[in-house]
Each structure stands twice: as C-alpha cells, then as structure tokens.
C-alpha cells in the first residue's frame, strides 16, 4: 500500500480540541466536521486541503480527549494518512478504527515542510520527499492492520470476516 500526496505539517502536542473544536462535537455529518477541521489552528486548512494529502506531525499528536470526531474530521477533509513522531494512544486506535493509517516516524521529520509532495509505503516503512529525494524511516503497518485499512475500518473488516466465515451473528 503506497500513498503519494502533499504535506500538511504540524508540530508537537496537537490536541483533539485543535483538530476539531468542542463546539462541533454535536455534529455527526462528516462534511461539517471536515469544514471545521483545524479551524482554530490553521484557518486555511479546510479550504486548501485536497483529497489524498498527507498530514505530518511531531510528538503526541491527537492528545487530549478521546473523541472519535478528531480522526473522522481529518479523514473527511481528504487527508489520506498521518505520519507523526508519536501519538496519543486513543487517537492512534481511533484512526485505525475508521481506516485512517497512522504511521510512526522512527526519526525526526524536520526536513519536511508544507505543500511538498511525498510518497509513503505502509509495507516497507519509507517516507520519501519527492522534491529533495530524502527518505525517512517510519514503522511499517503490520499486515492485519493493513487489512483493516483496506476494508475501510474495523467495523467493515469484522463484518467482512464474519460474512466470509459464514457467521451471520457478527453482522
């Protein structure tokens, strides 16, 4: 599974309130959530993000409350995957639950900047800056987690497995 897109660069300790402000948590429409994603941190984000872009961040990305709205807003905005130095554990799990890959960098991503194009391989654990040619190591996604991503998230994955195994009680 390889991805290519433009970078949106964020720093350390980006919490879920900065990803989607609390006043929008009563919304379940993903389009509305996407329209307010990073609205207080990067007001231009919702207007300028494009389908397939890649979010790159520092340490402790997604800290704060455990709201599932945060990865939903990011995915609905068009971001295809996230690469960060580290994540809040609940955010990391919520991202995979909805089929949004969250990779952990094994080295600082300081050379990356907004709007450059990168390619990322979930299998080999490589992020490559397509402008400079520089490569960065990221932790590869294990095969079973790639299957969750291919299915579109944990629920579709479990339903697909249940159907394949003929276990009607799981879906």
pLDDT tens digit at each of 171 positions of the chain: 899 999 999 999 999 999 999 999 888 899 999 999 999 999 999 999 999 999 999 999 999 987 899 999 999 999 999 999 999 999 999 999 999 999 999 999 989 999 999 999 999 999 999 999 999 999 999 999 999 999 999 999 998 888 888 776 654
* Domain span including residue 53: 2-165
Which residues, 6 or more positions from 81, have their beta carbon under 8 angstroms from its beta carbon? 3, 54, 55, 100, 101, 102, 103, 120, 122
**Quick one: 132 exposed, middle or buried, by C-beta within 10 A (0-12, 13-18, 19+)?**
exposed
pTM (two decimals): 0.92
Q: List the CATH number of the domain containing 143.
A: 3.20.19.10
Any domain includes 96: yes
Q: Is residue 68 part of a domain?
A: yes
pLDDT at residue 133 in the model:
96
| Residue 171: inside a domain | no
- Output the pLDDT for position 88: 97
Token pair of 88, please? 């809040």
Residue 37 resides in a domain: yes
Query: How many residues are present in the chain?
Result: 171
Q: Which residue from 47, 123, 42 is spatially nearest to 81, judged by alpha carbons?
A: 123
Residue 170 falls inside a structural domain? no
- Return the structure tokens found at 30: 């993903």
pLDDT on residue 70:
96
Q: What is the pLDDT of residue 168?
A: 62
- pLDDT for 66: 79
Q: For the sheet with 135-137, list strands across it.
A: 102-104, 81-84, 54-57, 2-9, 117-121, 126-129, 135-137
What are the backbone dihedrals phi and psi of residue 117, each rounded to the nearest 5 degrees, phi first?
-95, 135
Q: Report the number of distinct structural domains present in the chain.
A: 1
Distance CA 123, CA 142 (A): 8
The verdict on residue 152 lying in a domain is yes
On whether residue 114 sits in a domain, the answer given is yes
């Amino acid at each position: 599974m390889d991805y290519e897109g433009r970078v949106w660069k964020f720093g350390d300790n980006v919490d879920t309130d900065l990803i989607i402000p609390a006043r929008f948590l009563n919304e379940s429409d993903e389009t509305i959530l996407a329209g307010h994603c990073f609205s207080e941190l990067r007001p231009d984000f919702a207007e300028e993000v494009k389908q397939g872009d890649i979010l790159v961040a520092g340490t402790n990305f997604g800290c704060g409350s455990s709201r599932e709205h945060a990865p939903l807003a990011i995915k609905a905005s068009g971001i295809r995957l996230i690469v960060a130095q580290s994540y809040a554990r609940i955010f990391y799990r919520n991202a995979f639950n909805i089929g949004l890959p969250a990779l952990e960098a094994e080295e600082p991503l300081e050379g990356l900047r907004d709007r450059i194009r990168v390619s990322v391989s979930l299998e080999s654990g490589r992020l490559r800056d397509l402008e400079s040619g520089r490569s960065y190591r990221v932790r590869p996604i294990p095969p079973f987690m790639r299957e969750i991503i291919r299915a579109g998230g944990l629920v579709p994955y479990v339903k697909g497995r249940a159907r394949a195994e003929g276990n009607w009680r799981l879906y």
